[in-house]
A and B are shown apart, each in its own frame.
Chain A
Amino acid sequence: NAGVTQTPKFRVLKTGQSMTLLCAQDMNHEYMYWYRQDPGMGLRLIHYSVGEGTTAKGEVPDGYNVSRLKKQNFLLGLESAAPSQTSVYFCASSPKTGTGGYEQFFGPGTRLTVL
C-alpha cells in the first residue's frame, strides 16, 4: 500500500495565481485532513472531511477551499495565492472512530512558495 500520497512535492507560485494540491489515500479511511506547517507553530488544521462529499473548516481556513468528491481523494485549492500561504502542506487520513484514540497517517508534504 502507498498509504497517503501528495502531489506535487514542490511548487512555486506568483501572487494571485491559483493551484490545487491533491491528496490520495488507499487505506479506505473516512476522515481526511489538510494541515499547514510553519516554523515554531507546529501543524495547524486548514480543512477536514468526515466522508465523501463533506468538508468542514479547521483552525486556519481563510484563503483555501477543499473538495472530497471521492472517498480516497481530498483536494486543497488556493484561488488567489498570497505570500502568507508560503508553507509546507500536509495531508492526513484516519479511520472513523467515536473517540480521539486513533492516529492520523500523514503524507510526505508539499512545499509551496508564493512570490
Chain B
Amino acid sequence: AQSVTQPDIHITVSEGASLELRCNYSYGATPYLFWYVQSPGQGLQLLLKYFSGDTLVQGIKGFEAEFKRSQSSFNLRKPSVHWSDAAEYFCAVGLYSGGYNKLIFGAGTRLAVHP
C-alpha cells in the first residue's frame, strides 16, 4: 500500500540556519510528489511538486526538494530559514486510483524558528 513517512514530528532551528525536512514514500511506480505548507490557522499551500525530469525542484519562498528514487525520498530544503517559515509541512504522494486523483499525506513536521 502507498504511504508517506515524515520521521520528524517537530523541528526547531535558529533563524538564518539551514533546514532539511525528511520525507520517505512507499509507492510501486514513479510517484508524483508534493510538499505543502500550513501556516497557523491557515489552509494548505503548495510549495513545490515533482512529476518527472530534473530531480531537484524549486518551489516558492526559497524552498527546494530533491527526489532520490534509490532512497524513496523527497526531502525539502531551505538554505536560510526566516521566522515566517514557522509552520507545519506536509509531504504527499499523488496517484490516480479508484477513478480519482488521490493524495496520500504524511503526518506532518512542525517547524519552529528561534530568533
Given A97-B96, A99-B96: A40 and B106 interface contact (C-beta under 8 Å):
no
Closest to B97 in A: A100
Number of interface residues of B (CB under 8 A): 30
Residues in chain B within 8 A of chain A (CB atoms): 4, 9, 31-32, 34, 36, 41-46, 49, 51, 90, 93-103, 105-108
* A28 CB, min distance to chain B CBs, angstroms: 15
Give complex CA distance A108, B45 in Å. Answer: 10
Q: Summarize A's interface: helix, strand, loop or mixed.
A: loop
Contact present for A90 and B43 (CB under 8 Å) = yes
A48: CB under 8 A from chain B?
Answer: yes
Contact present for B42 and A97 (CB under 8 Å) = no
A50: CB under 8 A from chain B?
Answer: yes
Partner of A104, one of B93, B97, B103, B108: B103
Contact present for A100 and B99 (CB under 8 Å) = no
Closest to A94 in B: B101
15 other A-B residue contacts (CB within 8 Å) besides A42-B105, A103-B94:
A31-B101, A40-B108, A41-B107, A42-B90, A43-B44, A48-B100, A56-B100, A96-B101, A100-B96, A100-B97, A102-B101, A103-B34, A104-B101, A109-B41, A109-B42
Closest to B44 in A: A106
Contact present for B32 and A101 (CB under 8 Å) = yes
CB contacts between A and B, total, < 8 Å: 66
Contact present for B106 and A42 (CB under 8 Å) = yes
Contact present for A106 and B101 (CB under 8 Å) = no
Contact present for B90 and A106 (CB under 8 Å) = no
Residues in chain A within 8 A of chain B (CB atoms): 4, 31, 40-45, 48, 50, 56, 90, 92, 94, 96-104, 106-109
Give complex CA distance A44, B9 in Å. Answer: 17
Closest to A101 in B: B32
Give complex CA distance A106, B107 in Å. Answer: 17
Partner of B42, one of A50, A56, A99, A108: A108
Q: List 25 A-B contacts (CB under 8 A).
A: A31-B101, A40-B107, A41-B107, A42-B105, A42-B106, A43-B44, A43-B103, A43-B105, A44-B105, A50-B100, A56-B98, A56-B100, A99-B32, A99-B96, A100-B32, A100-B93, A100-B103, A101-B51, A102-B101, A103-B34, A103-B94, A106-B43, A106-B45, A108-B43, A109-B43
